[in-house]
Chains A and B, each alone.
Chain A
Amino acid sequence: VTSEALDAGSRAVAPAIAQAELSRGPSRLRPPRRTWTIGRALILLAPIACSVIFIYPFIWLLSASLKPRSDVFDNMLIPQTITFHNYLTVWQQAPMALWLVNTLFVTVLAALTVAISSAMVAWGFAYFRFPLRGPLFGLVLATMMLPGAVTMVPVFLIWNSLGMVGTLTPLWAQNLFGSAFYIFLLRQFFLGLPRDMFEAATIDGAGNWSIFWRIAVPLCRPALVVTLLFEFQAAWTDLMRPLIYLRDASSYTIPRGLKALLDQFGFGGDWHWEIIVTASVIATVPMILLFFAGQRHFVQGIATTGSKG
């Protein structure tokens, strides 16, 4: 495969990406009138007020995690005494490091497997023409309509009969088979790639796999990044599957562990809300970092989902 082919490809894809990006620049309003009316002041202040409401719970949580046990509920923005003691306590009271490792293991495997398998399936539907392609793809979309509750019990029985209940495998292994939503997303992206390039590669003697792996996959990087980020978040924050499949505290993921801490230190009789607050911070911070790392892709991915319905 020549690098020229790749170049031609990325040039052709560029407008699609540019289009997908939400213009961050100036919104298309007229230059403002200079007069200050109540309405204009409201328009200026309302987003600020709303941002405060949306951000404040994070600040409250972070601030509470730095307070000693007696001050956790004092609702003071700045702690009267700042202490990192709670973070030490959480580390001693709960196997936080183990939970973080478990969660990271599941999320990385879930994201990688779903991205690769969904890309393969999406490529199969986008590139080849074969009998029953339409109905089969319709079936892919139809599975998105099925509530997870319907398959939840039999899928549990499958993992149970394989002796996998209590292990981390059921939390990610299903992703080996692709996921309808990402198949849809990636197929849309593949359909936007110019065909001539792949035909040129065929004439150069490239096989089906190398056309997919060495041309199509590099070209659809933006959509793959969206897939990885979405699935990483979904796997990191999931509560229901860990509740169903994990038995032993040593195999817990962070959300499952957080729920266990709430049961033990919140309602279980020992009132140690500072531990719960601190563990919540530890569970949330990685997701905040993930968002800032992939902000543009998150926003594009969600906007694309909304407009493609």
Chain B
Amino acid sequence: MVSTTTGAAAGRGQPTPVGESAEVNRPQRRYRASRRRDTLAALAFISPWIVGFLLFTAWPVLYSAYLSLTDYDVINDPNFVGLDNYKELFADPKIALSLANTVFYTLIQVPLHVLVSLALALLLNRAMRAAGFFRTAFFLPKMTPPVAVGILFLLLFNGQSGLINTVLGWFGINGPAWTTDPHWVKPGLILMSLWTVGSSVIIFLAALRNVPLDMYDSGKVDGANWWQQTIHITKPMISGSIFFVVVVNTIAAFQTFSEAYTAFFGSGNTTYSNDAALFYAIYLFQQAFQFLHMGYASAMAWLLFVIILIITLIQVRVSRRLVYLEGEQR
């Protein structure tokens, strides 16, 4: 949004190198020298990224690919085992379990996340007074450290004394043991995660405020009610933002770690665990840093990468048909 207004005027196109206009009539050699100086200066400015990319992205990616073909426990040298780690991935029941848990979580959490944040944004968009207060209220949970969210989950969803089941009790509902019953652990975590939808609410609200008002006026002239306007005007006009929120949150949900790890997996001297909350990222973390199976963990990471890549590509493909592009340049 920052650049759409002035960007077209100033830098959006090809920014001209400094002094180029003044030197148009000078000899070609002088011009080339200035280009070379530009290149050197640019390299100096982007050098932190180049060094960081080589050191912390390029080399780790290559080394991770190599490690995934080895057994490595940090203490002894890597032992080349070919594709054994990848074969083991498909035989390991915990991989199947953690993948199933993660897919379940993602399939339910992402649609709910989008629906809830969209509903809240629509409410905010209609709230005339105190919209600022409501926005703050909806966003604040997002500031909570995930560890504290995990702890809040244990407290609020506690089967016997938790607030959630107390409130359910008022309506005569006998709430489940959210934090211990394997069937209810993931639904509980999903409900808790909806507490932190704040940034999606803000993204949707910004998109809603960008829908031209005269569209709704014409809608009203045609006799469309609020629901019809929402479906036929609002939804297509903000479909770009919906796509963005879906893609980003699918990737995040697939790597969900901190809240579930806090609530269900002990570290240090106390060990406890709950298979129902064993998400893929948690199992990967355990393999790498608790069991020191660095090679196996690297193979797991590559499987994760491939899965996320495929999901994202499918989402992009599907979005080409569903996302309405007029108002937005993507």
Most A CB within 10 A of own CB, among B57, B146, B209 = B57
The answer, yes or no, to whether B16 is at the interface (CB within 8 Å) is yes
Total interface residues on A, using CB and 8 Å?
121
Q: Which of A81-89, A94-102, A175-183 contacts B (4 or more CB under 8 A)?
A: A175-183
**Contact residues, B246-263 vs A (CB, 8 A):** 251, 255, 257-258, 261-262
Q: Which of B80-88, B98-106, B295-303 contacts A (4 or more CB under 8 A)?
A: B295-303
The answer, among A43, A129, A146, A147, for a CB contact under 8 Å with B15, is A129
Contacts of B146 in A (CB 8 A): 237, 239, 255
The answer, yes or no, to whether A46 is at the interface (CB within 8 Å) is yes
What is the chain B residue whose CB lies nearest that of A18?
B5
**Do residues A303 and B152 form an inter-chain contact, with CB atoms below 8 A?**
no
The answer, among B4, B17, B74, B132, for a CB contact under 8 Å with A24, is B132
Contacts of A58 in B (CB 8 A): 140-141
Interface residues of A (CB under 8 A from B): 12-13, 15-17, 19-20, 22-24, 26-29, 32, 43, 46-47, 50-51, 54-58, 60-61, 64, 73, 75, 117, 120-121, 123-131, 133, 136, 139-140, 143, 145-158, 160, 174, 176-178, 183, 188-195, 198-199, 202-203, 208, 212, 223, 233, 236-237, 239-240, 243-244, 254-255, 258-260, 262-264, 266-268, 273, 276-277, 280, 283-284, 287-288, 290-291, 295, 298-299, 302-309
Shortest C-beta distance, A165 to chain B (Å), equals: 10
Further 17 A-B residue pairs, CB within 8 A, beyond A153-B301, A154-B63, A276-B151 = A19-B1, A43-B126, A57-B152, A60-B163, A61-B155, A128-B42, A143-B57, A147-B255, A148-B255, A149-B304, A153-B294, A157-B74, A193-B6, A244-B289, A262-B147, A287-B143, A302-B202
Shortest C-beta distance, B204 to chain A (Å), equals: 8
Shortest C-beta distance, A40 to chain B (Å), equals: 10
The answer, among B48, B147, B195, B241, for a CB contact under 8 Å with A178, is B48
The answer, among A148, A203, A268, A303, for a CB contact under 8 Å with B206, is A303
Contacts of A28 in B (CB 8 A): 213
The answer, among A16, A121, A199, A287, for a CB contact under 8 Å with B144, is A287
Shortest 4 CB-CB contacts between residues of A and residues of B? A177-B52, A124-B45, A306-B203, A128-B42
The answer, among A150, A223, A283, for a CB contact under 8 Å with B302, is A150
Shortest C-beta distance, B222 to chain A (Å), equals: 16
Contacts of B27 in A (CB 8 A): none
The answer, among B2, B134, B251, for a CB contact under 8 Å with A192, is B2
Shortest C-beta distance, B228 to chain A (Å), equals: 15
Contacts of A233 in B (CB 8 A): 143
Q: How far is the CA of A61 from the CA of B135 in the complex (A)?
A: 21
Q: Which of B89-97, B107-115, B181-189, B265-273 contacts A (4 or more CB under 8 A)?
A: B265-273
What is the chain B residue whose CB lies nearest that of A26?
B128
Shortest C-beta distance, B311 to chain A (Å), equals: 11
Interface residues of B (CB under 8 A from A): 1-7, 9-12, 14-19, 21-22, 35, 38-39, 41-46, 48-49, 51-53, 55-57, 59-61, 63-64, 67, 74, 120, 123-128, 130-141, 143-148, 151-152, 154-156, 158, 161, 163, 166, 195, 199, 202-207, 209-210, 213, 240-241, 243-245, 251, 255, 257-258, 261-262, 266-270, 272, 281, 284-285, 288-289, 294, 297-298, 300-302, 304-305, 308-309, 312, 328, 330
**Do residues B155 and A277 form an inter-chain contact, with CB atoms below 8 A?**
yes
Q: How far is the CA of A139 from the CA of B229 in the complex (A)?
A: 41
